[in-house]
Amino acid sequence: MLKTENGTKIEVSGESLTKISSINKESLEKQTDYPFTWRFLPFSFMPPPINDLPISSLDAPLSAALNKVVSNSTRAGTKVLHQPAYILHSYPHSETSLVLDVFTRHHGRLWVLAKGALRPYTRWRASIFQTFQTLSIGFSGKGSVRTLLDAEWVGGIPMLEGAALISGYYMNECLQRALAQADVHAGLFDAYQRGLAQLSLQAHSPSEQAQVLRQFELALLRELGFAPDFDSVDVAEPMALYDFDVAAHRWTRSGEQNVHSQIQVAGQTILDLRAGDFQASRTQNEAKQLFQAMLAQYVLDRPLLTRQVARELRALADVSVKTQRGGEA
């Protein structure tokens, strides 16, 4: 559904929206001469990602403009070079090739086919397709899968290990599940890149790694338009408790309402999140509860596998510690 500022609505087919969604905002504005504002609704993050497009006016025939965009999007794909990118995941395709799920800064998340990547004498180095390493890639084509033309390692970080590795996979799975194909999120790309660097070089303790993940979750929610508004609540007492209704997206003083979808946090936590300060243990715990409830409500359609793996690893670690203590006794 396309909606104008004066309330007029125009229906467009799902196929057309899917094609339109593969074009970034700047390209869409250039081709239609309309200033578009993109907004996600709490519905689904499977294509098409455009659910509501407020449009400034209807002076020109909008349907003709949109048809022009769809027509242009079906032409032969152009060559794109030197794109900063990370590989989120890779999948074998036939016996000789790989399909890469990549996150690029300027073109969003894409499927890219690396032809011949699994051949014994391929031109691709095996190490080039590792996760968490900064790449510069080139690709061509149209449709849901592009063709990889070039991939270069442009410097990166030491490989993630242990809990930091699980945290990195958690961020990857969030991006895979939350982002539609070809939907550009440059700010989120920067937050992801910053998070990887912190996990590799700085965040060594569980508390430091938790701070990285909470910062990334908040960046993800903000980029998609679902982050709680920490400025909308008047925190009179830092030690007072406040409820956030996840479904209604609204803050209230604790006890004023009683709904199943509310998350309770301290006033000091709200003040910390408003300032971007995740150091306090209580702030970390309450932010985790709040952000993951928001992700479950608006973004994720099922539990994340990396969370399950992390829980199982913690359980194994606990068993190992108890066994050692029993042996020492």
**DSSP letter string over 98-157?**
EEEEEEETTTEEEEEEETTTTSTT-SS-GGGG-TT--EEEEEE--TTEEEEEEEEE----
Domain assignment of residue 69, yes or no: yes
pTM of the entire predicted model:
0.73
* End-to-end CA separation in angstroms for the chain: 68
Contact, 53 vs 2, CB < 8 A? Answer: yes
Residues 149 and 125 in one domain: yes
Tokens of 98: 């790989």
Residue 317: its pLDDT value, please?
Answer: 67
Residues 99 and 122 in one domain: yes
By three-state DSSP, how is residue 253 classified?
Answer: strand
Beta-carbon contacts of 75 under 8 Å, excluding residues fewer than 6 positions away, are: 142
How far apart, in whole angstroms, are the C-alpha atoms of residue 299 and residue 310? 20
Q: Please identify which residue in the block is written with the tokens 């998340």.
A: 109
Instruction: Give the amino acid at 125.
Output: R
Contact, 165 vs 104, CB < 8 A? Answer: no
**Which DSSP state fits 204?**
-
Residue 323: its pLDDT value, please?
Answer: 63
Domain assignment of residue 132, yes or no: yes
Q: Is 131 left (phi over 0), alpha (psi -120 to 50) or beta?
A: beta
Domain assignment of residue 64, yes or no: yes
Contact, 267 vs 235, CB < 8 A? Answer: yes
Domain assignment of residue 307, yes or no: no
CB-count burial class (<10 Å; 0-12, 13-18, 19+) for 158: exposed
Residues 8 and 68 in one domain: yes
Rounded to the nearest angstrom, the gap between the alpha carbon of residue 153 and the centroid of all alpha carbons in its chain is 23
Q: What is the CATH number of the domain that holds 135?
A: 2.40.50.140
How far apart, in whole angstroms, are the C-alpha atoms of residue 81 and residue 59? 37
Domain assignment of residue 47, yes or no: yes
b/e for 92-119, b at 16 or more Cβ within 10 A?
ebeeebbbbbbbbbebbbbbbbbbebbe
Written as tens digits, the pLDDT of the chain (329 aa) is 444 334 444 444 444 444 444 444 444 444 444 444 433 333 322 332 322 233 333 334 433 443 343 334 334 458 999 999 999 999 998 889 999 999 999 999 999 999 999 998 888 887 899 999 999 999 999 888 999 999 999 977 888 998 999 999 999 999 999 999 999 999 999 999 999 999 999 888 999 999 999 999 999 999 999 999 999 988 878 999 999 999 888 998 887 666 666 899 999 999 999 999 999 999 999 999 999 999 999 988 788 888 888 878 777 766 655 566 555 55
Residue 260: its pLDDT value, please?
Answer: 62
Parent domain of 124 = 80-153
Domain assignment of residue 304, yes or no: no
Q: How many domains does the chain have?
A: 2
The CA-atom distances, in angstroms, between 136 and each of 57, 123, 229, 259, 275 are 40, 16, 36, 48, 34
Residues 142 and 108 in one domain: yes
Residues 86 and 45 in one domain: no
Residues 47 and 104 in one domain: no
Which of 98, 119, 153 marks a domain boundary?
Answer: 153
Domain assignment of residue 99, yes or no: yes
Tokens of 154: 């442009």
Domain assignment of residue 239, yes or no: no
Which of 73, 106, 122 marks a domain boundary?
Answer: 73
Residues 60 and 101 in one domain: no
The CA-atom distances, in angstroms, between 34 and each of 37, 55, 307 are 10, 7, 42
Which of 90, 121, 153 marks a domain boundary?
Answer: 153
Tokens of 44: 């689904």
